[in-house]
Each structure stands twice: as C-alpha cells, then as structure tokens.
Structure 1
Amino acid sequence: MASSAPRTALTALGAVGAVGVAAAIWGIGIERYLFTVRFHEVPILPAGAAPLRVLHLSDAHMAPWQRRKQQWMAALAELEPDLVVNTGDNIGHEHGLRGLRRAFDPLHGIPGVFVHGSNDHVAPSPRNPFKYFVGPSKGGADRSWEPLDTQALDGYLAEELGWLDLNNAVGALEVAGQRIDAFGVSDAHRGWDRLDVLPDLIEELRDEDPAVPMIGVTHAPYRRVLDDFVDLGADMIFAGHTHGGQVRIPGSPAALVANCDIPLRQARGLSRWTRLDRTVPLNVSAGLGHSIYAPVRFACRPEASLITLTAAG
C-alpha cells in the first residue's frame, strides 16, 4: 500500500500557497485602498476651554497617479478640523507634489504644523522589502538617493497653506480663538533632529504664557525624542514614520516592526509615554501610504486620525 505522506505534504503545501496568494491579493489589491479615520478624545486643554478638533496626517508617500488616495484625503476637510498636524513623508515620487496639492488644497485656511520625514527630501529607491523585518533601515546618507524638491514642498505647505514649519523649530498658533504652542524636529531616523536647539527656543516662547497647551511634533518616534519632548513640557506628542508596521498579524496588539526603537505595541494609535514623573498622550499615525516599491498593507489599514482635544479635569 502506497504511503499517503507525500500526498498529505503536497496538500498542505498547496493550502499554504493558496493562503499566501490570497493574503497578497488582499494586501496589494484591496486593503491599501481601505482608508479609515481613527477618532480619539484627549483631555489636555485648560479648564473651560472649548474642544479643538485636530486632524493628524502622516506618511502619504504621494505619487501623482494615486487618485483614490488624493480624493479620500481631500474629503477629510469635511471633518472640519480646527488644526492639522502633518508628521512628514508627504511625497514618494519626484512629481508627488502634484498629487499632494489635490489632497491638501481643500484644507487651505485651516491652521497647521508640519515636520519632515526623509521622503520629503529624497525619493524612495528599490530595495529588498524583507530586510524591513530584520531591523530599522539605515539612517545614514546614501548616494543612490534621488533628491526631491523640498523647497517647493515647503513653499506649498508654509506659504500657500499657511502651515507652521516645526523642523527643529517652535511657534505659536491661534486655533479657533485659542492659542496653542508647538515645537518639533526634523527626521530623527536620518539624524536630522536638533533637540539641543529647542530648550532655549521653548523658554523664549513660553515666557509669554507658560499655561498655554503645547504639542510636540516629530516624524520618527525614537525613544530619545519622546523622552526629550516630555522633558521639554509637551502636553501631547504626534508622530508617524512606523506605518503601523504596514504588515501585521491580524488581531495582534503589536506590530511586527516599527523601523525605530519605539515599543512595538505603541507603533500605531493613541497611547501614553512616560518619562520620570510625567506621562503624556502620544499618537503615532499608521500613515496614509507606502513606498511605491512596497505597495502593500495587511491588517494595517491606511489612516488619518481626528483627535478632539478637550478640557482636562
């Protein structure tokens, strides 16, 4: 009697292959277009303050042909945010600003802040996507990078939309009749952050009114950045970069990877970050896009966040 072991092995192999094909079809052809908004409420405003609606956008990695994403992002203006927080990696192609304009133009007139990710400076390059699961990508310079027109991007964000550039900088905004202080750094994953320049800038800003709520904005949520942001007095921190892991195990509370040293359970969504005796809310956006060379999302939908800031206590 012939053994059934080879037949069983082939059946199992076929089943695994079928699952893999189905997962690829879902992640590449379906889920990366299933844009979603995550809603949160965070009590950090002074007593008696009216609520403020903050739209957190990150990691669009925009290419000009991505019309579905552009249309969905443009419709976010219908949420009527009071403030936009943009945590970088806006463009992922040399002509990505064309698509970004279609996505962001409806937000014109709404106060905003932004910081850079590396893909606001250099275009993505082809690489083995499986290396992403080994550990964080290299943060140093790479001569193969193609430069993007960062000056044009910043001109659009800062001059046309009127958003505040927080790359290693601080500033104050009037948001729905309330003042909000803000500070931020450029991409810590590339070592472009200058945390050392912030204390003096913040001290000068806060001399005007230290009771004003203050937010910290970064692209990459490295522990050293988050710790310093808490020490510098941030009442809430916004970050992106991780893509939420981009490919996750369905139902798992933790990402498989984060491309930085943040705990994997905090690589997506609203959590809290503690440094010594202070704990502040931290929102890490899973982002709206992906590299054009890794067009997949699995168990990690592209997202924006609408965070309603309310009075504390």
Structure 2
Amino acid sequence: MIRISHLPFGLLILALACANKSQVIEEVFKLPKHLDESSAVEVTSKSDWIWTLEDSGNVPELYALDKTGAVKNTLSITNAKNNDWEDLTSDDEGNLYIGDFGNNDNDRQDLAIYKVDALDLKNKTAAVSKKITFYYPEQTEFPPKKSKHIFDAESFFYYQNNFYIFTKNRSSKFNGRTTLYQVPNQEGNHAAKLISTFDTCDTFSHCAVTSADISPDGKKVVIQTSTYVWIFTDFTGNDFFSGKSQQIDLESFTQKEGICFIGNNKLYITDERKKKTGGYLYQLDLTKLKGKS
C-alpha cells in the first residue's frame, strides 16, 4: 500500500492522477483540439477510419481519424444543416448515416436521418443522397409540459434495413427511462414505431442515454451514459430490452457522447472535452468485464 502523505510532491500528483484514471476503459488517443464537442463515433465495415462529428451549432462536417487520432479527412456536407446532429451509424455497404434528431427542448418537428454514400467518404465535399424524416406519434404538443420531455434522442444504430433510436429522457420527473423506436430506412416521413422501454438509473447526469450500437453479429446491443454502459444479450427479434442486461461502471465521469463496436467484443467510446477533462477516444474490452446483471 502506498502512503500518499509520504510521497514527494511530483509523485503525489502522479499518484492522484493514476487513482482517478479508470481501470475499465483504456485511453487510445486524445481527440484533435478542434473536436471539443465530439458527439459520435463510428467505424464502417469498408474502412478502418474512425468517424466523428460535432453536435448542434457546429458546421455540417464529418471527420475521419486514423488509429493515432490524426485527421485523415474532413467531409463537408453541402445540402444539410447541422440542426442538432447527435450520432452516426453505418450499413453493411459502408454508407454512413447522420442522426439529426437532437431535441433538447422537445419542440422539433423536423427530425431527420441523412445518408452519405460510401463512395463519397474520401471526398472533401458530399451531398446527402437520401433523407429520412420521422416523428413520434406519442408526442402531440411541441413542446409538451416538462414532465413529458421524453422526446429528445442522441442514440441510434442501423440493423436489418431499419434504424433503432433510443430516447434521452429530459423529464422534470427523471426516472432513467429510455424508449426504443424503429424507423424504416426509406425516404419519406415515418411514424416511429415504439418497440420497448428500459430504465437505466435515476440521476440524470449519470443515467441519461447518449449513444448506442449493435455488434456486427447482431447478438449484443449497448447503450451508454456518462458513467455506465449497459450490454443487452439473448433478446428476441428487435426488442433489444427483452433479454439479459449487464450494467458496467466505467469508473470515469465525463461527458461521454459516442460508442461503437469494433468487432463483436470491443468498443470505442468518445467524450467531450470540458476544461482539462475528457476529449479522448477510449477502448472497452467486453471480454474483461465484470458487471451487475
């Protein structure tokens, strides 16, 4: 056992830094300085580039990084505004999809998903090739009363030609509930189909869902908050909450915004940079975990 009080000042600082570092997630690299508000992470099946974006109020651009964190490409989207881009996903052909459905005030009526073709990802500019819009049939007021602020979302993934969206609960009576919706990968305006719900935990800052993904083999789904990851397995069909769940404490409280699978048992995670904390890409190895079921 190290007696902190007897350490020289320099070693004391190092010891405290190590004590605050998570033993669950591993830092891979620091995100570039201009990506302080990284809100997503995605790796397509056709490339090892790591894609990210920034959310509302930022320019409509996608950023490709290599495994050292160097920027390999900045892709400007020419025909879509960044209203509130929140997440990225991809299909089996390597096309990227942007989730423009951030809805902090629960008043938006222009929720959208944009497709960017795989062939355009190495260009400097690209036009969205398909736009999918949707709405939540359960929402009838814009905005609803604060106790019904349950129609924000920051998380989605592609699976079997549908998108699965996980809401971020901003209710004044926060209970950790996220709602799973399905939207078809088809042009047009669609009523999102409610599939299921799941209750994370009861503190907004630790328990509001900020990202999600499904493993390449379709056997694992993860949702993420600033503090935890939940892993879902043995589910039935597209009700990803119907099987077993495991809660993992990341041992790190920063504003985590992006998560994606790399293979079936490893995850990338990103967080926003706030003052001197965050702004990293991390790796989480699911084979080494112990968590609460």
User: Aligning the two structures, in what range does the TM-score lie when normalised by the shorter sequence?
Assistant: 0.3 to 0.5
Q: When you count strand as a share of all residues, which structure comes out higher?
A: 2
TM-score when normalising by structure 1: 0.32
TM-score when normalising by structure 2: 0.34
Larger radius of gyration: 1
Structure of greater relative contact order (alpha carbons < 8 Å, 6+ residues apart) = 1
